């Protein structure tokens, strides 16, 4: 069986770990997406408040 064909429904230990410890993979994905968004804004000269670069 290929690794990419394994679904979480087939891995009860994975679901058990998520219940016990939280979905660390999902949390990391969300943080990575937020960071990527912030860096894109920073590289485009935007500040976190949505204002342009200071003069």
For residue 52, tell me if it sits in a domain. Answer: no
One digit per residue, the tens of pLDDT, for the chain of length 55 reads 455 555 655 678 888 888 899 999 999 999 999 999 999 999 998 876 555 555 4
Give the span between the Cα atoms of 51 and 53, in whole angstroms.
7
Of 31, 12, 32, nearest to 20 by C-alpha is 12
For residue 30, tell me if it sits in a domain. Answer: yes
For residue 51, tell me if it sits in a domain. Answer: no
Instruction: Quote the pLDDT of residue 29.
Output: 96
Instruction: Quote the pLDDT of residue 37.
Output: 96
For residue 19, tell me if it sits in a domain. Answer: yes
Instruction: Give the contacts of 17 (CB within 8 A, at least 6 positions apart).
Output: none
User: Is this structure's pTM higher than 0.85?
Assistant: no
């Amino acid at each position: 069986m290929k690794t990419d064909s394994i679904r979480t429904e087939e891995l009860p230990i994975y679901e058990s770990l998520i219940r016990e410890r939280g979905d660390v993979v999902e949390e990391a994905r969300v943080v990575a997406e937020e960071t990527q968004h912030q860096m894109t804004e920073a590289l485009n000269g935007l500040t976190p408040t949505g204002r342009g670069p200071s003069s």
